[in-house]
Structure formats: structure tokens, C-alpha cells
Amino acid sequence: METIITSKEKLVEAIRFLEEKKNLEEADLKKHFNETYEQLNPINIIKNSIASMEQSPEFKNDLIKTSIALAVGYIVKRIIIGISDNPIRLAVGNFVQVFVYGLIIRNPAFIKKIAIVFLQFIMKIRIHNQQLALQNTEE
């Protein structure tokens, strides 16, 4: 709704009001621009992304799985390659490392079951060896 200005005083008052409104909106616009500029700064985008990932339990779980998969893949590669400089052996070792990494990442439950069976097998052998040692000392 427009107001009809009939005197010079009302005109001056309306001009002051509009200038004050313009200054407030301009300050608000500058503040919003600076906030947006800071949020779109590549460094801040990376920082915010990392901070949100660090708080995520899935990220921590995935990081652990990936670390284990990389370590096991590397160990298997070192077992296959040994101290050889043979290019074919190196290529096979790299292939096996990537294969083991992918296998562990895609099937963590299966790998966990294999690890448990393997540890149980080792424990049975250890118990059996201890029993044999006890029998040998008793004789």
C-alpha cells in the first residue's frame, strides 16, 4: 500500500526510511555473501567433509576394513614374491594383492569366519602339542 506524500517533511522522512532500509538490506546481503563465500572455499569444503566423515561410525568401520584388507593383501603379496626381482613374480604378487584386497572388502563376514576357523585350528594344534609335551615329560 503506497502512502501519498503531501509535504516536504514527509518526503524527507520517507527518504530516510528507505535509505535506512537499503543500508540494512545491503549489510545483510554482504553478510550473506561473505558466509556463502567462506562455505564455498575449497579448503573449507574439504575440512567440513572430513569432519563429517570422522563423526560417521560407518567411516570408521570402513577405514578399519580397508586398512585390514590392504595389510593382508600386502602380506600375501610379500609371501608370494619373497625377495625376488622376477617381473612375472612381481606381477603375480600385485594381482594377488589386489584380488585379496577386493575379496576382503566384498566379503568381510566370510573372511571373519575363515579367520576364526584358522585360529581354532592353530589352537587345536597348540593344545595337541602341549599334550604331547606333557606325555613326553611324564614318561
Q: What is the pLDDT of residues 38-52, one digit of tens each?
A: 877 778 777 777 777
Same domain (yes/no): 50, 91 = no
The parent domain of residue 23 ranges over 7-55
Quote the crossing angle between the two packed helices 87-106 and 57-81, to the nearest 10°. 150
Give how many domains the chain has, as a whole number.
2
In a domain, 25, yes or no: yes
Q: Where are the beta strands (DSSP E) in the chain?
A: none
Cα separation, 6 vs 3, whole angstroms:
9
Residue 139 pLDDT grade (very low, low, confident, very high; cuts 50, 70, 90): low
pLDDT at 28: 95
Amino acid at 15: I
Same domain (yes/no): 123, 77 = yes
Do residues 79 and 89 lie in contact, with contact meaning Cβ atoms separated by under 8 Å?
A: no
Same domain (yes/no): 95, 76 = yes
User: By three-state DSSP, how is residue 20 classified?
Assistant: helix
Same domain (yes/no): 73, 99 = yes
Cα separation, 36 vs 32, whole angstroms:
6
To the nearest whole number, what is the mean pLDDT of the chain? 82
Same domain (yes/no): 77, 130 = yes
Summarised one tens digit per residue, pLDDT across range 64-95 is 778 877 887 788 788 777 777 788 888 888 88
